């Protein structure tokens, strides 16, 4: 199915500033953190317009929730005689959704309706999605790419009067992963532990971000780089059991191999380590640790590792194979001569 383009969720702050919020706002996309944040912001903005506390309803839809009951609520005039706010979360669980079409096409003047449906929504030819799309009420929260997350972390730190370099922000995403909610929890931990220090350094990141885990992805890449299969498998299994996604491990090992391939080229051109890290757009210490003495110092071995990583990535996306089995095969193929 072809991808459908929706408005960006990040348009909402400008719509709020311009007093141009639409009466119906449908939030979808893969960034659930951003969706939750948008709902909180919208409630905060709309609440002062309500004439009564009874005019705010937040509904978390469960499987086969009644669409008719919700629509009846939407058409009920507000108690306070002013505006009414209804938030319907997890819209996918609502039955007979098409009956929302009428109120979406012609919403009452008093109504603000916010609907959330995490995930991609491409079915814009069936109701009520057709009406939502036609009226430009659909806003998508796309997951940020790693470099965009790094920018977001830098701004997050600045907002909290703390210094975080772009390179160290990238390193943080490598350790913690690319889930915004986990990254924000980690940032809060930094703020709570910095004391008088106002800079989040690479050492602080590696020490504090690692403190809640037995192993980190850095430990995994070090074990793989040393060719220590049993240790690498122990670490990989531990990470998997403690919530690290297999995709994150594959991505990290891909970056590790990329840095080593770049390092070979930079060494051939006699480019020093500091300049090489800049050219690779990497944190200096992360690049140094990734490219120090390891088993990936020849192109043939790197090519074999890259092939193994590609095969593992395809297996994760297209097969039902157990993730520990995929990791076992991946690490074995990367380390074997």
pLDDT-derived band at 101 (thresholds 50, 70, 90) equals very high
pLDDT at site 209: 58
| Region of poorest pLDDT, from 76-90, 174-188, 227-241, 310-324 | 174-188
Measuring CA to CA, how many Å separate 84 from each of 40, 70, 78, 315, 317? 16, 13, 6, 49, 43
The dihedral through the CA atoms of 100, 104, 108, 110 has a sign that is positive
The structure tokens listed for 99 are 């009956």
pLDDT for position 56: 94
CB 71 within 8 A of CB 103: yes
The residue-averaged pLDDT of 239-264 equals 89
Comparing C-alpha atoms, which of 286, 324, 293, 313 is closest to residue 209? 286
Domains annotated for the chain, with CATH where assigned, are 7-141 (3.40.50.300), 148-335 (1.20.272.10)
Share of the chain above pLDDT 90, in %: 49
Has residue 151 got a pLDDT over 80?
yes
Average pLDDT over residues 293-312: 90
CA-based angle 233:175:214, to the nearest 5? 50
Which own/partner pairs from 15-21 qualify as long-range (CB within 8 Å, at least 24 positions apart)?
A: 16/41, 16/42, 16/45, 21/45, 21/46, 21/112
Residue 203: per-residue pLDDT: 84
CB 148 within 8 A of CB 156: no
Helix axes 246-268, 284-291, angle to 10 degrees: 80
pLDDT at position 213: 57
- The pLDDT of residue 195 is above 80: no
The pLDDT-based confidence of 3 (bands split at 50, 70, 90) is: low
CA nearest neighbour of 61 among 37, 97, 32, 33: 97
**Closest by CA position to 216, among listed 183, 242, 181:** 242
Q: How would you classify the pairing of strands 111-118 and 24-29?
A: parallel
Q: Is 99 exposed, middle or buried (0-12, 13-18, 19+ CB in 10 A)?
A: middle
> What mean pLDDT is predicted for residues 131-153?
90
Phi, psi angle pair for 249, to nearest 5°: -65, -40
Average pLDDT over residues 17-42: 91
Q: Which has the higher per-residue pLDDT, 244 or 131?
A: 131
85: left (phi over 0), alpha (psi -120 to 50) or beta: beta
| pLDDT, average across residues 73-102 | 93
Whether pLDDT at 2 is above 70: no
Give pTM, 2 decimals.
0.60
Residues 154 and 164 sit within 8 Å (Cβ to Cβ): yes
Is it the case that residue 113 has pLDDT exceeding 90?
yes
* CB environment 217-226: b (16+ within 10 A), e (fewer): bbbbbbbbbe
Q: Which residue has the higher pLDDT, 281 or 130?
A: 130
Q: How far is the C-alpha of 15 from the C-alpha of 306, rounded, in Å?
A: 45
Reading phi first (left if > 0) and then psi (alpha if -120 to 50, else beta), residue 279 is in: alpha
pLDDT over 70 (residue 73):
yes
State the average pLDDT over residues 314-318: 92
**Least reliable range by pLDDT among 3-12, 32-41, 212-221:** 212-221
Instruction: Evaluate whether 302 touches 327 at the Cβ level (below 8 Å).
Output: no
As a whole number of angstroms, the distance between CA 316 and CA 148 comes to 25
- pLDDT of 108 > 90? The answer is yes
pLDDT tens by residue, 155-193:
999 999 999 999 889 888 877 777 787 788 888 888 888
pLDDT over 50 (residue 302): yes
Mean pLDDT of 249-254: 90
Q: Which two tokens stand for residue 251?
A: 């991505």
Question: What is the Cβ-side half-sphere exposure of residue 162, based on CA atoms within 13 angstroms?
Answer: 24
pLDDT of residue 132: 95
Element (H, E) at 86: strand 84-89
Asked if residue 227 has pLDDT above 60, the reply is: yes
Give the per-residue pLDDT at 212: 52
- 215 — pLDDT class (breaks 50, 70, 90): confident
pLDDT of residue 1: 47
What Å distances lie between residue 88 and 62, 227, 244, CA to CA?
Answer: 11, 52, 31
């Amino acid at each position: 199915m072809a991808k459908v383009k929706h408005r960006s969720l990040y348009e909402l702050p400008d719509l709020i500033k311009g007093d141009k919020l639409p009466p119906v706002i449908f939030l979808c996309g893969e960034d659930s953190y951003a969706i939750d944040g948008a709902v909180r912001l919208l409630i905060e903005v709309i609440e002062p317009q309500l004439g009564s506390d009874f005019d705010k309803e937040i509904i978390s839809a469960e499987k086969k929730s009644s669409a008719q009951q919700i629509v009846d609520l939407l058409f009920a005039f507000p108690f306070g005689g002013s505006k009414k706010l209804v938030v319907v979360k997890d819209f996918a669980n609502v039955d007979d959704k098409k009956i929302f079409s009428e109120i979406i096409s012609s919403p009452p003047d008093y109504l603000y309706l916010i609907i959330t449906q995490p995930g991609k929504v491409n079915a814009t030819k069936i109701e009520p999605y057709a009406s939502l799309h036609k009226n430009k009420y659909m806003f998508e929260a796309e997951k940020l790419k790693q470099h965009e997350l790094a920018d977001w972390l830098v701004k997050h730190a600045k907002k909290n009067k703390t210094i975080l370099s772009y390179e160290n922000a990238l390193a943080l995403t490598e350790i913690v992963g690319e889930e915004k909610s986990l990254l924000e929890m980690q940032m809060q931990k930094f703020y709570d532990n910095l004391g008088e220090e106002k800079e989040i350094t690479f050492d602080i990141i590696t020490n504090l971000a690692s403190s809640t885990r037995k192993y980190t992805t850095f430990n995994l890449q070090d074990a793989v780089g040393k060719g220590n299969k049993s240790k690498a498998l122990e670490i990989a299994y531990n990470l998997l059991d403690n919530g690290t996604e297999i995709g994150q491990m594959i991505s990290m090992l891909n970056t590790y191999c990329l840095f080593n391939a770049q390092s070979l080229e930079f060494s051939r051109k006699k480019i020093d380590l500091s300049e090489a890290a800049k050219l690779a757009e990497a944190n200096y210490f992360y690049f140094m640790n990734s490219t120090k003495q390891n088993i990936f110092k020849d192109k043939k071995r790197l090519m074999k590792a890259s092939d193994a990583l590609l095969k593992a990535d395809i297996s994760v996306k297209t097969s039902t194979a157990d993730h520990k089995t995929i990791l076992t095969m991946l690490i074995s193929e990367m380390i074997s001569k």
